[in-house]
Structure 1
Amino acid sequence: MHVHSKWLTPVRVVPLAFLAAITIGTALLALPVSTTGQGSGGLLPALFTSVSAVCVTGLATVDTATFWSPTGQAIILALIQVGGFGIMTLATVLLLVVGRNLGVRTGLVAQAETHAVDLGDVRAVVRRLAVIVVTCEAVIIAMILPRFRLAYDDDLPTAAWHAVFHAISAFNNAGFALYSDSLVGFVADPWVMLPLCAAVIVGGLGFPVISEIVRTSRQRWSVHSRVTVYGTIVLLIIGIGGFALAEWRNPDTIANLSTGGKVVASITGGVMPRTAGFNSVDYAAVTPENLMLTNVLMFIGGGSAGTAGGVKVGTFVLLAVVIWSELRGEQSVSVAGRTMPSSLQRQALTVALLAVAAVLAGTMALLITTDFTFEPLLFESISAFATVGLSTGITPDLPPDGQVVLIVLMFIGRVGIVTVGAALALSHRRRRYSLPEERIIVG
């Protein structure tokens, strides 16, 4: 059957591709062979886990370590890899599509400025992406495998499985773990936690940025790469420092650890909201100020065209610069010596406000359908929408209606941001007239 090419727009293809992957994952996880108990584990746990894995979130209503069989865990890992790699591929290809729709001359300018996105060969881009993904995951596996074998696991096959699962989960910012308490048992172990943190950071930068870092010198980085890298560094410093200040003397989290253990735990606490979802402390026991900081970091997320969620670092930095420029009374907004077009500013504002609306709507729906208080429900909503996976522990206790709310938030947060971004970039319409200006009162 012939499908008209105009129908296959990014706005339609991306959601349909994710829906297909989620449907297949749900069917496989609903099979009796996927669970450790007798018979099927039920449709809702299978659907929730499939959405969480494909959307690389990490939230779970059942214990991944005990509820799912080795077959089920392997299916989850495959869904994480497909979701993470597919997201990066789709987002990168969408950048190419956007470049082509800007016209040949503008496309060549965009190619010269980014140094990373080849506007003429999609297959070459995807091939480079696959090499980056496999290489990064293999390096992380090689780093943590000896530690698992020597310190935690009795045999090499078990250690290898744990290393592979957690390395892939970390690089794809998924946050699924094969331990009932996530990574709490490794809270002070730098040989496991630091490589996983590195995988989260690299995976969250985004393919265009990774490609530029590998292929070009820092002096030739595009504005996007500079904003993403430097913005990520600043947010990591804030996250790590804020976690340490908030939890250093908290006896329910890291106060009883050694100084080195506290440092490792603080690094993990600052990195994972970027949006990995592994937790090495109990987030139900963290201080209120740390919970608030984590909410902000989760909402911002990581880099565009990567495995991280949130509204993205570039969006946050651009809006911050817009505010700063307005306070200074400047007529234009510039970043790294380049003027940001007004259309881009409107796109960033649209993405951010739609994200706020989605989180507030999700939180309100959870307040209506559950008996939990506002603070943990807001944390859960942001974690689901930003596809983080951190939780205060209430996810398994949510009623079916509440779990469906999180499913919708995870899907919108992962698919919606990419889709809305593509739709906004592709919907340039030139108005052939201008209306008279008039001001309203602001503030």
Structure 2
Amino acid sequence: MTRSGSILLDRFHHPAQVVVAGFGLAVAVGTLLLSLPIATTTGESAPFLTALFTVTSAVCVTGLLLVDTSAHWSVFGEVVIALLMQVGGLGVMTLGTVFTLLVSKRLGVRARMLAQMETKTLSLADVRRIVARVVVFSLVCEAVAAVVLTARFAAGYGEPIGRAVYLGVFHSVSAFNNGGFALWSDSLMRFVGDPWICLTIAVAVIVGGLGFPVVFELMRSWRRPRRWSILTRITLATTVGLLIFGTVAFIAAEWSNPRTLGPLDDAGKWLAAFFTAVMPRSGGFNTLDLAHLYPSSWLVTDLLMFVGGGSAGTAGGIKVTTFGLFAFIVWAELRGEPRVNIGHRRLPEGAQRQVVAVMALGAGIVVVSTYLLLVITPHSLDQVLFEVISAFGTVGISTGITAELGTAGHVMMVVLMFIGRIGPLTLGSALALKERSRRYELPEERVIIG
């Protein structure tokens, strides 16, 4: 292991602390790079808060913006943003593990623990193999998406081959890592009726957001669904259910809206509604002007953003697994069952507590942040709630008020994006000085609930 890696591990003893420190270091280095004059189109240094906000949005694969990416940042700045999205998507600890393997050809126990926390693998012995597969799979997916996008930009829109390749690679990295950065001021609104662009981006977002454990299990056992784990079953079922729910909800609410789906033909409406349902899982792109959605559609989007994507993937939110397991926990409680059973398996009590903790922490963070932003900004509740959940869920879509939140609001959004990428439980355990184990049990007492 490198000397700097050893120092980092010695300073922070809990793996969660190193994950937080690693992402913090990536944000610091990225902010320094985007603060250089070469990073802007004007040749002048970007304001510190603008650079910090943009870097945090890239590392945390969010996509919220204070400035127009293509107009404000130079090619150097755009490349830095793309690299930061790649780092954020794969995870600082995953990349660090790969570098350690390349340098020393061996992996210590503590480094395995760090990679295990980032990739959510269940066995320390499997971490080396899993990390390599994560990197290869990510690069292959991005390459496939880049080829399709490059061909479409060149053949369909007359872009020179060099520019088409640049656009294809940038947006494939942004899509697979759920980054949400686009090189047009209107995101992807100009491509609202183009299935080649929209479906390629949507598929990349979905695959990246499923989570690597689910993807790898599907690759191994896609013909034998009965052998799928609880994680895979719940992730797929919840993902498909939310995509169908979101698409139908947007179709029902926005079909005749003259400023969203109204002007499109029937096929275009379904394509735009599906794309709009995919993006809240943490994609961050948009082909419709979200500021003109009806309030009912904003509420649906809030729900989809809060849930997010799969565990150990590039998406944010509380995760579809948490949402699905919470539904099973509630159902078991309503039926008066002492255990939570899913299929032919029983959910451990520790996992149940984690699910409830993630739900509670996530909701608490959103509520407190929304209240504070309502106090310091003049915007309405539905707009502020939308922005807060978008930041916490590392989604990146906006009603258009992000740049108007003021300095205090922008600092709050930076903190929200960081917390959303790290995760409430990871951040909480990183702040704890040490884990405490109770060596005795207290007498039990029943409490009236409700």
Q: How far apart are residue 441 of structure 1 and its match?
A: 2.3
Of 442, 445, 449, 1:438 maps to: 445
What is the DSSP-based 3-state SS (H/G/I as helix, E as strand, rest coil) of the residue aligned with 1:321? helix
Deviation by residue 1:190-239 (Cα, 9 ceiling, x = unmatched): 01000110000000011111111112243322111111111111111111
Q: How far apart are residue 96 of structure 1 and its match?
A: 6.5
Look up the match of 1:356. Answer: 363
Look up the match of 1:39. Answer: 44
Q: How far apart are residue 352 of structure 1 and its match?
A: 1.0
What is the DSSP-based 3-state SS (H/G/I as helix, E as strand, rest coil) of the residue aligned with 1:441? coil
1:364 aligned partner, one-letter code: Y
Matched, 1:164 2:162: no
| Structure 1 pair 413–348 and aligned structure 2 pair: CA distance change class (3 A) | same
Look up the match of 2:32. Answer: 27
| Structure 1 pair 13–100 and aligned structure 2 pair: CA distance change class (3 A) | closer
Tell me, yes or no, if the aligned pair for 2:192 and 2:288 is still in contact at 8 Å. yes
Give, in whole Å, the separation in 1 of the partners of 2:213 and 2:93. 9
Look up the match of 1:147. Answer: 152
| Structure 1 gap ranges (5+) | 102-113
Tell me, yes or no, if the aligned pair for 2:93 and 2:115 is still in contact at 8 Å. no
Of 368, 376, 383, 2:390 maps to: 383
Tell me, yes or no, if the aligned pair for 2:302 and 2:386 is still in contact at 8 Å. yes
Tell me, yes or no, if the aligned pair for 1:91 and 1:418 is still in contact at 8 Å. no
Matched, 1:203 2:208: yes
Q: How far apart are residue 99 of structure 1 and its match?
A: 11
Look up the match of 2:233. Answer: 226
Look up the match of 1:83. Answer: 88
Look up the match of 2:348. Answer: 341
Identity, % of aligned positions: 48
Deviation by residue 1:159-203 (Cα, 9 ceiling, x = unmatched): 111111111100001100000000111111101000110000000
Q: How far apart are residue 433 of structure 1 and its match?
A: 3.2
What is the DSSP-based 3-state SS (H/G/I as helix, E as strand, rest coil) of the residue aligned with 1:120? helix
Tell me, yes or no, if the aligned pair for 1:209 and 1:225 is still in contact at 8 Å. yes
Of 97, 106, 124, 2:113 maps to: 97
| Structure 1 pair 439–291 and aligned structure 2 pair: CA distance change class (3 A) | same
| Structure 1 pair 420–399 and aligned structure 2 pair: CA distance change class (3 A) | closer
Look up the match of 2:103. Answer: none
Tell me, yes or no, if the aligned pair for 2:149 and 2:196 is still in contact at 8 Å. yes
Q: How far apart are residue 241 of structure 1 and its match?
A: 1.2
| Structure 1 pair 422–204 and aligned structure 2 pair: CA distance change class (3 A) | farther
What is the DSSP-based 3-state SS (H/G/I as helix, E as strand, rest coil) of the residue aligned with 2:290? coil
1:280 aligned partner, one-letter code: T
Deviation by residue 1:75-96 (Cα, 9 ceiling, x = unmatched): 1001000110116838999997
1:76 aligned partner, one-letter code: I
Give, in whole Å, the separation in 2 of the partners of 1:34 and 1:387. 24
Give, in whole Å, the separation in 1 of the partners of 2:313 and 2:161. 32
Q: How far apart are residue 8 of structure 1 and its match?
A: 3.1
1:181-196 alignment, distance < 5 Å = 181-196=186-201
Look up the match of 2:71. Answer: 66
Tell me, yes or no, if the aligned pair for 2:154 and 2:161 is still in contact at 8 Å. yes
| Structure 1 pair 27–87 and aligned structure 2 pair: CA distance change class (3 A) | closer
Give, in whole Å, the separation in 2 of the partners of 1:324 and 1:95. 39
Look up the match of 2:301. Answer: 294
Matched, 1:248 2:264: no
Give, in whole Å, the separation in 2 of the partners of 1:145 and 1:418. 40
| Structure 1 pair 420–94 and aligned structure 2 pair: CA distance change class (3 A) | farther
1:206-285 alignment, distance < 5 Å = 206-217=211-222, 218-285=225-292
Deviation by residue 1:6-64 (Cα, 9 ceiling, x = unmatched): 84322210110001100111011011111112411211110000000000000000001
> TM-score, normalising length from structure 2?
0.89
Q: Which moved more, 1:7-16 or 1:73-82?
A: 7-16
Give, in whole Å, the separation in 2 of the partners of 1:275 and 1:82. 16
1:362 aligned partner, one-letter code: S
| Structure 1 pair 314–46 and aligned structure 2 pair: CA distance change class (3 A) | same
Give, in whole Å, the separation in 2 of the partners of 1:78 and 1:279. 22
Q: How far apart are residue 285 of structure 1 and its match?
A: 0.2
Q: How far apart are residue 336 of structure 1 and its match?
A: 2.3
Look up the match of 1:54. Answer: 59
Look up the match of 2:13. Answer: 8
What is the DSSP-based 3-state SS (H/G/I as helix, E as strand, rest coil) of the residue aligned with 2:441? coil
What is the DSSP-based 3-state SS (H/G/I as helix, E as strand, rest coil) of the residue aligned with 1:413? helix
| Structure 2 gap ranges (5+) | 98-108
1:397-412 alignment, distance < 5 Å = 397-412=404-419
Look up the match of 1:108. Answer: none
What is the DSSP-based 3-state SS (H/G/I as helix, E as strand, rest coil) of the residue aligned with 1:402? helix
> TM-score, normalising length from structure 1?
0.91
Give, in whole Å, the separation in 1 of the partners of 2:138 and 2:369. 33
Q: How far apart are residue 247 of structure 1 and its match?
A: 1.0
CA RMSD in angstroms, aligned pairs only: 2.6
Give, in whole Å, the separation in 1 of the partners of 2:315 and 2:28. 22
Tell me, yes or no, if the aligned pair for 2:15 and 2:114 is still in contact at 8 Å. no
Tell me, yes or no, if the aligned pair for 2:37 and 2:45 is still in contact at 8 Å. yes
Give, in whole Å, the separation in 1 of the partners of 2:429 and 2:270. 40
Tell me, yes or no, if the aligned pair for 1:275 and 1:387 is still in contact at 8 Å. yes
| Structure 1 pair 131–90 and aligned structure 2 pair: CA distance change class (3 A) | closer
| Structure 1 pair 224–385 and aligned structure 2 pair: CA distance change class (3 A) | same
2:349 aligned partner, one-letter code: S
Tell me, yes or no, if the aligned pair for 2:40 and 2:77 is still in contact at 8 Å. yes
Tell me, yes or no, if the aligned pair for 1:87 and 1:305 is still in contact at 8 Å. no
Give, in whole Å, the separation in 1 of the partners of 2:172 and 2:392. 23
1:213 aligned partner, one-letter code: L
Give, in whole Å, the separation in 2 of the partners of 1:22 and 1:99. 19
Deviation by residue 1:110-164 (Cα, 9 ceiling, x = unmatched): xxxx9x8553142222111111001111111122211111222431111111111
